[in-house]
Amino acid sequence: MDEDHTSSPLFSVSLTSSAPALGQWGAPTGDGHSSHLDFPDPGESIRREAGDALSPHLPISLNAVIHFPLSSKPSLPLFVLIQLAIYSSTPKKLTLQEICTALRSRFPYFVTRTAMPRSVRHLLSLMTIFQKIPRLKGQRGKGSYWTLNTLVVSRFGRYKRERKRAKRGKVDDINPAAKRRKSATVKKKAAHVAAKPPRARPKSHLCL
């Protein structure tokens, strides 16, 4: 069910500088520059996702996660931890590498998890709340940025991105390589059947 964001404060994302042009939290300065994007503030949504695992006495961030002992696996799912990392950053956007650095700095558990960046990349592409922001032309650094946009809710479930699937029977047209592999497999099986000698029929023994 879509949420009403008309009265929500704004979540301002810087496109150029290291920090958004803000007069107050989530409020653009009104200077007329289009150097940032404005989305509904996802803070309350993150608090609902985190539940009791987030301290009510601290600002929404990775540091607000109630976590003991420090070396153990965080109780919150990775999907929520990524939101917290992005939300608590100054420019309100992070690259994949910056997200992984933030998680490893807060939770030692992730330091030895070499597959963690792959899991983060998968969730960034899977969930609609994560919106990709390409680097501006001439901007130094590597990799696109990711921010939070709660306006996009998929019909397949909250924040789950719709996957594009090829129509049945059209795969060969879309992927010529798959068509060639399929043809080669069929020819190989036909050649194997042709080369196989026919089975000898057992002789019948008649009682005289």
More confident residue, 92 or 193: 92
Nearest to 94 by CA among 38, 147, 19: 147
Residue ranges of domains in the chain, CATH in brackets: 41-148 (1.10.10.10)
Q: Across residues 109-121, what is the average pLDDT?
A: 95
Query: Which tens digits make up the pLDDT trace of 128-173?
Result: 899 999 888 877 778 899 999 888 654 445 566 555 555 555 545 5
Q: Across residues 59-86, what is the average pLDDT?
A: 92
Alpha carbon distance 130, 94 (integer Å):
11
pLDDT category, 181, cuts 50, 70, 90? confident
Q: Give the global pTM.
A: 0.64
Residue 19 has pLDDT above 50, yes or no: no
From 123-132, 163-172, 184-193, the region with the lowest mean pLDDT:
163-172
Phi, psi of 206, rounded to the nearest 5 degrees: -100, 135
Residue 103 has pLDDT above 70, yes or no: yes
Alpha carbon distance 179, 4 (integer Å):
47
Q: Within 10 Å of residue 192's Cβ, how many Cβ atoms?
A: 9
From 19-33, 48-62, 134-148, 162-176, the region with the lowest mean pLDDT:
19-33
Q: What is the pLDDT of residue 120?
A: 97
Alpha carbon distance 163, 205 (integer Å):
65
> In 3-state terms, what secondary structure has residue 119?
helix
Q: What is the pLDDT of residue 185?
A: 77
Residue 96 has pLDDT above 80, yes or no: yes
